[in-house]
Structure 1
Amino acid sequence: MPGPAATPFDTDHRLPERVDVVVIGGGIIGTSAALELSERGHSVLLCEKGQIGGEQSSRNWGWVRIARRDPREIPLMVEAIRLWEGLDARLGRKTGYAKCGILFSCASERALAQNESWTRHVQAHQIESRIIRGAELDAVLPGHRMKLKGALYTPEDGRAEPQWAAPAIAEGARAAGAVVITGCAVRSLDLEAGRVAGVVTEKGRVKCGAVLLAGGAWSRLFAGNAGTWLPQLKVQNTVMRTTAIEGPAASLWADGFSLRKRADGGYTVASGSENIADLVPDSFRLARAFLPAFAAEWRSLRFRLSGRWREEAGQARRWRPDQITPFENCRILDPAPTPRMLRRSWSALCRAFPAFAQADVVQSWAGMIDVTPDAIPVISEVQDVPGFFIATGFSGHGFGIGPGAGRLAADLVAGDAPVADPSAFRLSRFTDGSRVRPDSGF
């Protein structure tokens, strides 16, 4: 079964000779950065090797949440929420954004205390996030049969439609003057005296003064060919959608499943606590860098040896600008969903909400999530290559924060005052002796 179909996007065809900025990658981060830069008067070329929003940007849960984020992401997520609130009007197109509230269920007093402790991180931002119990919890989750001590409830959190959002933002960027070309892989940077002077695409060269790499799961491969070490791995999440059914308006993370109401009346459902980590050569190359992450997240990871080992072992890691690249050999990452995870999450959902037994599962898919050792993104200039910027490694949290991350990336590229402190997202944290590890905020 193929992955979800993003809104079709009609490509531009003429490759410009020169622009101010080339953005690599047409997911929500790349399109959001292109929108910001174009609206500020910079000439922008966005190149996408496949389709706009064709990979994880259309395959995620559709959550727009500040709840339970790493504290280092919170200021940027505050800005992202502000941008989501005005995005449809700004674009003149629908993204499906709506505030619905998100809950993290708590089956024990310990979990309740941890979640309540997390709320201190948003108090200074006037974001309401609190513990609810009893009748109030039952009112927010009508029809549930879970035995809970309570839940962390954040009414400001919301949802949007992943299949709509990145294409809508790309259209907005084009309306603001950007050139957006799909089916066009960027093969390499074009450097002069050690700094960015342009890019080489499969369709020709383009001169520019800055390049933003927002390539998601492909970013490490591109950066490596450019001589930049980027510690990033991939994990796979499996998702399904249902037919329309009456159910909770709020989104929910619970033991064994997550759910989010869709604009079509159905639900997006996934496991809230299981991801596949395929063993590949990079798993061993980066094992030391990722040890703190593995220690923190081992309960949610299912390691396996699959055909991806052979596939990635056979991928070129270095190439010349005149050679066919891995990006042209695989236009869209479309991994198969994991049936066992689908069965488990569906069973857990139906136990929690018996009414869902009346719904049908009409589609399932999987997506590759780009992860870093500390589970927060890289949004940074590459110090050794002036003019080269990276925005990647969003670790499963990229959709909701996308507009804010795109704005911060645009600030860095343009040399404008950053909307949030970018120091936590600097690439050099992996090499400057910093303590690199996930932070749950508890």
Structure 2
Amino acid sequence: MNAVSDTWSKPIEPPSTCPASADIVIIGGGIVGVSTAWFLAQDGVNVVLCEKGHIAGEQSSRNWGWIRKQGRDVRELPMMIESHRIWRSFEEETGEDVGYTEGGCYFLAATKKDVEKYESWMSTAREFELDTRVVQGDELANHIENTSQTWPGALYTASDGRAEPHKAAAAIARVASRLGATILTGCAVRGLETEAGSVSAVVTEHGTIKTSAVLCAAGAWSSMFCRSLGISLPQLKVKGTVARTAPGPKILDGQCFDKRVAIRRRQDGGYTVAHGGGNLLHPITPSTFRFAFKFLPALKQEFGSMGLTINGDFFTELATPVRWALDRESPFEKQRVLNPAPSRRTLRRIRKNLNEVFPALKNTAFVETWAGMIETTPDVVPVIGPEERLPGFFIATGLSGHGFGIGPGVGKAAAGMLTGKDSGIDIRPFRLSRFFDGSPIRMGPAL
């Protein structure tokens, strides 16, 4: 594979047959869906994964490829620590290449106030026995090379890793398939059938699969699917623009975040780069107004780094019915792959900032650019749990722009949730009901 975009630009391969039944059906072939299928297959569960487009055709192949523990919400850390353990052993256990490397992660401080903020997070790092530390400015020169910039300090975790998103989810899907999971691409799920109020079947475009348990891991499509079932899932989308460079001079082995540029070393010797402080663009849709009140804290926290726009997405969503006949084409078949165009303005800013902060890369060309739609929740923390009003229906979504690294851990937790097996991960903090039961919306750390 020469380009990241090969993941989603190749022809879709629909299934030749559709299984008549399964113990569990997973909706969505991103990092969460394939990881869940992998863990279920390890336990001998008859699991079928249905993906309307390609495996990792949307955000799971378009993200930055960071696998970090530092700076996470305390609710996520136990799951992230387990996810990191899974990443570390994956290649040796499976023989698959995902480009995993531990090069460290740096959050670069623009001011001394930022350093103080990072120092305050160290109590969390110590609580979870992380190798995180605050690096002072004079030491940073030993960590980050070929830069014109100086920083007063950084939050640094040496064991944080990186991997190649365009390889990872596909590799996990292959391993799951070898263990007996059925992976269907080009197979949109239109809806569910119920008996006595519980899930009894999944209706796909290629046939009906009898089952008593369904996991919605549909990423940016999860809210629409849940709404068709009468379930309110507060979720909005933001667009992130990314570029990758040709192989270039060494800056660092891992990844760093500066308010001007975010950069990760790639397996091929190039870099994945994005704008650090103003990378996100939210296309206003009817969902924006439907969930506006719940997202006010997030909007306040991200106000300086997110733009707003109105485009055709507003009218597309407005024209999309809440429910549809299951014997007719669904919205998921009309748009197989969510493939937004990268922002030219953002790309110009990325190029300018990269040249200024890391002048050694000035002549290192952008060889590919893309954008992805990131699904987010009101507190920027995932939703994982059963839907009590519809027995047999489970949700794992809303990873909010930091889901690649934690994805295998979410998959392990979701597999345990579906089978009743103890995964060692407490999913109660991720329940959907937290947005409706009067619990205060508690934002994760804005590091």
The 5 A counterparts of 1:288-307 are: 288-307=293-312
Partner Cα separation in structure 2 for residue 13 and residue 84 of structure 1? 33
Quote the residue 2:6 is aligned against: 5
Conserved 8 A contact 1:3-1:366 = no
1:271 aligns with 2:275: yes
Quote the residue 1:403 is aligned against: 408
| Secondary structure at the counterpart of residue 6 of structure 2 | coil
Conserved 8 A contact 1:145-1:351 = yes
Following superposition, the deviation at residue 195 of structure 1 comes to: 0.7
Instruction: Please identify, of 199-208 and 248-257, the stretch whose mean Cα deviation from structure 2 is larger.
Output: 248-257
Aligned partner (choices 135, 146, 150) of residue 149 of structure 2 = 146
The 5 A counterparts of 1:345-424 are: 345-424=350-429
| Secondary structure at the counterpart of residue 353 of structure 2 | helix
Quote the residue 2:248 is aligned against: 245
| Secondary structure at the counterpart of residue 287 of structure 1 | coil
Letter of the 2:329 partner, please give it: I
| Secondary structure at the counterpart of residue 223 of structure 1 | helix
Partner Cα separation in structure 2 for residue 165 and residue 331 of structure 1? 21
Conserved 8 A contact 1:23-1:214 = yes
Quote the residue 1:65 is aligned against: 68
| Secondary structure at the counterpart of residue 130 of structure 1 | strand
Aligned partner (choices 180, 187, 190) of residue 190 of structure 2 = 187
Conserved 8 A contact 2:286-2:314 = yes
Would you say how many aligned residue pairs link Structure 1 and Structure 2?
A: 441
The 5 A counterparts of 1:83-162 are: 83-162=86-165
User: Please, which runs of 5 or more residues in structure 1 have no aligned partner?
Assistant: none
Partner Cα separation in structure 2 for residue 421 and residue 307 of structure 1? 40
Instruction: Please identify, of 300-309 and 323-332, the stretch whose mean Cα deviation from structure 2 is larger.
Output: 300-309
Partner Cα separation in structure 2 for residue 312 and residue 273 of structure 1? 28
Following superposition, the deviation at residue 250 of structure 1 comes to: 2.3
Letter of the 1:96 partner, please give it: G
Following superposition, the deviation at residue 5 of structure 1 comes to: 2.1
Quote the residue 1:16 is aligned against: 19
Conserved 8 A contact 2:137-2:150 = no
Partner Cα separation in structure 2 for residue 230 and residue 390 of structure 1? 10
Letter of the 1:293 partner, please give it: A
Partner Cα separation in structure 2 for residue 189 and residue 90 of structure 1? 36
Partner Cα separation in structure 2 for residue 421 and residue 289 of structure 1? 24
Partner Cα separation in structure 2 for residue 10 and residue 116 of structure 1? 50
Partner Cα separation in structure 2 for residue 169 and residue 351 of structure 1? 38
Conserved 8 A contact 2:4-2:166 = no
Partner Cα separation in structure 2 for residue 13 and residue 121 of structure 1? 50
Following superposition, the deviation at residue 12 of structure 1 comes to: 5.2
| Secondary structure at the counterpart of residue 154 of structure 2 | strand
Quote the residue 2:232 is aligned against: 229
Letter of the 1:380 partner, please give it: G
Conserved 8 A contact 2:15-2:186 = no
Following superposition, the deviation at residue 70 of structure 1 comes to: 1.2
| Secondary structure at the counterpart of residue 166 of structure 1 | helix
Structure 1 vs Structure 2 CA RMSD: 1.5
Conserved 8 A contact 1:261-1:268 = yes
Instruction: Please identify, of 2-11 and 182-191, the stretch whose mean Cα deviation from structure 2 is larger.
Output: 2-11
> What percentage of residue pairs aligned between the two structures are identical?
44
| Secondary structure at the counterpart of residue 365 of structure 1 | strand
| Secondary structure at the counterpart of residue 67 of structure 1 | coil
Partner Cα separation in structure 1 for residue 16 and residue 410 of structure 2? 28
